[in-house]
Amino acid sequence: MTLASIDGPDAYALTLTADGEEHSARSSLAKLTGDPRDDWPPHAKRLYAYLAGIYGERDALPTLAAAWIAHQRSDGTRKTYTQNFKISESYLRERSVHPLALTFLVADAFASHLKTLPTLVWRGGRRVPEGRPRDAATRNNVLSANSSFFKFVLQTRALPKETMDSNPFDGVLYPAIDPLFTRTEGLTEAEYVTLARTARHEHPCRRTAFRLYVLILVLYHLCLRIDAALGARIEKLGYDKGHHTLEVQIKGGTWVTKAVPPSVWHALQVLIGDRTEGFIFCTSTGKRLDQASQWRAIRATAKRAGLPQKKIGPHSLKHSTITHAYDRPGARPEKIQHWADHKDPRTTQRYNQRRGALEGSPAYDAAASMAEQLDAS
């Protein structure tokens, strides 16, 4: 079995052949009773259509890449992996390298390329590559996603060993990451209150002002990421042992039950009104809100509130509420870890260490001790 080039409209395509008969990953699935591709989630179907439009349906890549996306547990992971895979696919296609023919040297060159590759930003209603390059953590995520794809391909055994016998991203040097470094800008408790009040009372669109206010409450008090909050449904609101609750799907596809404080519960009930099903945070037609719009709304609200941070986003609220929890008397790290949905206690502890690195910085004492001498000179 070999990889054979295809001439004609599928110029980039490579398909698996044996004894003169085509045997692709796509045709193998199609022969099953009930094509499993029919059950692929939306991100997998869209990636398949995107790649099939470039490489052709006879190529193994569209099916393998889409099956890999469908294999992921959560919709958030599928979205992120799709975006990260497209970055490498575009890089390889521009250099006439088929992704399934990727070698270690090219994968290593791609890792270096990411250091200077500009991110996409909105300009005149379209996304253009004019943003600053990705930071170390983001480059790490891009490389990890692509490594995951090739690990999946090897597990499928869809390609002969002479074509691919190892993961080309094995051995690639990933960016060095300081576990205490983050670009997420935090808020003090007073700044959080200012942000929430501004959303409710000064948002220019009164129709969505209260919805944004409640979203900010949920992100902060339930310690949620934006994708989990926007995916929350009315049907998952409940009551257990004296506590109002909300079941949400978090990063990685796991379901957790969150305690909802009385004030937040009341705000949710006002927002929901007489609705009994559907997304809690939705458009006027009931559709789920998209993350990008809420990022923009929170950032615009922070600017309107006069907060000094440059780029406050939804994760600033989760980041801040964890650090505030450590500041309160009787703080229990294991409780904070569970509330933050961190599997590893070291992840939660980093928030505490980051907090201490700023608040206890020797820079303040050094400046204070030298202030009089500097002023005198």
Q: Are residues 97 and 61 in contact, defined by beta-carbon separation less than 8 angstroms?
A: no
**Start-to-end Cα distance in the chain:** 81
Percent of the chain with pLDDT over 70: 89
- Residue-wise pLDDT tens digits, 113-122: 999 998 877 7
pLDDT average, residue stretch 79-98: 96
Q: What is the 3-state secondary structure (H, E, C) of 260-296?
A: CCHHHHHHHHHHHCCCCCCECCECCCCCECCHHHHHH
Query: Which stretches of 250-334 are assigned E, i.e. beta strand?
Result: 255-259
- Residue-wise pLDDT tens digits, 357-367: 777 778 777 77
Provide the whole-model pTM.
Answer: 0.71
Domain(s) labelled CATH 1.10.443.10 in the chain stretch across 189-359
Q: Cα–Cα distance between 365 and 354 in angstroms, integer? A: 18
Name the burial class of residue 36, with classes exposed (0-12), middle (13-18) and buried (19+) by CB atoms within 10 angstroms of its CB. exposed
Is residue 9's pLDDT more than 50? Answer: no
**Which residue is it, tokens 């900010």?**
216
Q: Cα–Cα distance between 247 and 252 in angstroms, integer? A: 15
Q: Are residues 185 and 309 in contact, defined by beta-carbon separation less than 8 angstroms?
A: yes
Q: For position 180, what pLDDT does the model report?
A: 66
Contacts of 276 (CB under 8 A, 6+ apart): 234, 235
Domain 189-359 has CATH 1.10.10.10: no
- For residue 26, name the pLDDT band (cuts at 50, 70, 90): low
The DSSP line for 360-374 is T-HHHHHHHHHHHHH
